[in-house]
Structures are given as C-alpha cells and as structure tokens.
A and B are shown apart, each in its own frame.
Chain A
C-alpha cells in the first residue's frame, strides 16, 4: 500500500536554528498538508499546498514557517528560527483530491518528532 514517508523520524535542534522536515507524498497525490501535535495535545492543521502554492494556512503558520515542493517528489516544511515551543510531532499528509472516489485518499506519514533545546 502506498505510503507517505517522513524523514528524519526524530530531530533535535538548538533554539534559533533552522530545521527542514522532509516528506515524500504518495506519487499521484496532488494536495499536501502539514499538521503539528504538541505532546499530549490535539493534532493541529498548519498548512495545505496545491499546485505549487499554499491553499490555506492556520494562525500557527507564521512567518517563521515555509513550505516547498522543490523537485516534484519532496514536500518540505522549514522552520527558520526554532523556538522551544516548536517542539512537537510534525505530520505530513497527502490527498489525491478525488471526491468521486469514496476512498478520499488522505494519508498521513509516520511523523517527525522535533525537539528544540
């Protein structure tokens, strides 16, 4: 079964450093998402991306965040200057956007645990 792949599984970074979280969505999917889950809390939407641009972003997704699809296969989330409160699990997801197929095709990756120290 096709998977969404995220790397690394765990990243530790110092406060103020830049990090890039990487995702490889399912190959025929067209819509891409990042979600965040602070430990013990609910999963929150960060951003959706379609046709090489952001479709929607949440209040969390401020100027320190950016997303990119650099090469047609990877989908990255960059945090420019990490803060302690950015420590969380970050999930990538992708969707084929086919609303006629009741499978919806919305698939999550296994997540990257980001620890900011």
Chain B
C-alpha cells in the first residue's frame, strides 16, 4: 500500500526567509502524481503545487518549488520569501498514475508552518 510520511509536525520560519518542508512516500508504482496542499485556518484544502512522476523537471509555482527525487522517493516543498499568509498546515499527498482515472489521494499527516514576523 502507498504511504506518505511527513516527519516534521511543526516548523517555523522568519518572514522573507526560505523554508523547506520534507516528505517521503512509498509506492511500487512507477507512474503517479505528487501534491502539496495548503490548509489555512479556514480548513479549506488548497492545491499549492503538483508533480508528475514521469517528469524529471521539478515543478515551480511562483515562490513555491519542489525537489523531487524519484529514486529516493522524496518530495520536498521549498517556500521562498515566506509571507505571513503562508502560515498554514501543509499536506504532502500522492495519487496513483495516469492509467487510473479515478483514484483516491493519500495524504501525509501534515506540517504546521508558522511564519514569524
């Protein structure tokens, strides 16, 4: 069975600094998707960034980028120039590959990110 592990329950970063959130996963599949979701106090699940496993190039979305290491099954999120609005719970997540049209997303336990002014 696939699993997603986030080993950092909480992290803090100074405003305007850079922070990296760690995630590892376990799967026997070769094709899959990985995601980072943000959950602010409103509890809504907001997609931050996604990565297709077949792509070697790391995904980037403005201040958010990932370091995808397929062999190591590692998928970390880097937030540059941290802003107060980045404070939230961040979930790493996995979804099975392209041949499966509907499939559940498996979440890690989350990392709560605090931004220090």
- Chain A residues close to B by CB (< 8 Å): 30-31, 33, 35, 37, 41-45, 48, 50, 55-56, 58, 89, 91, 93, 95, 97-99, 102, 104, 106, 108, 110-111, 113
Contact check, B103 vs A48: say whether CB atoms are below 8 A apart.
yes
- Main SS of chain B's interface residues? loop
Residues in chain A near residue B52, CB distance under 8 A = 102
Q: How far is the CB of A107 from chain B (nearest CB, A)?
A: 8
The yes or no answer to B106 lying at the interface (CB within 8 A) is yes
Please tell me if the beta carbons of A97 and B45 are within 8 angstroms of each other in the complex: no
B43-A31 in contact (CB<8A): no
Q: Is the CB of B43 within 8 A of A111?
A: yes
Q: Does B64 contact A (CB under 8 A)?
A: no
- Tell me the number of A-to-B contacts counted with CB atoms below 8 Å: 56
Given A41-B109, A89-B43, A104 and B50 contact (CB-CB distance below 8 Å):
yes
Q: Which label, helix, strand, loop or mixed, suits the secondary structure of the A interface?
A: strand
B102 at the interface (CB under 8 A from A): yes
Given A42-B91, A95-B102: 16 more A-B contacts, CB < 8 Å: A33-B104, A37-B43, A44-B107, A50-B102, A55-B102, A56-B103, A97-B101, A98-B101, A102-B52, A104-B33, A104-B95, A106-B105, A108-B44, A110-B42, A110-B43, A111-B44
Instruction: For B108, list chain A residues within 8 Å (CB).
Output: 42
Contact yes or no, B104 A99, CB < 8 A? no
Bound CA–CA A74/B93 (angstroms): 26
Instruction: Tell me whether A113 and B43 are in contact in the complex, defined as CB-CB below 8 angstroms, given that A31-B101, A48-B103 are known contacts.
Output: yes
**Could you give 24 example pairs across A and B, Cβ below 8 Å?**
A31-B101, A31-B102, A35-B105, A41-B109, A42-B107, A43-B45, A43-B91, A44-B107, A48-B102, A48-B104, A55-B102, A56-B104, A93-B105, A95-B101, A95-B102, A97-B101, A102-B52, A104-B33, A104-B50, A104-B95, A108-B44, A110-B42, A110-B43, A110-B44
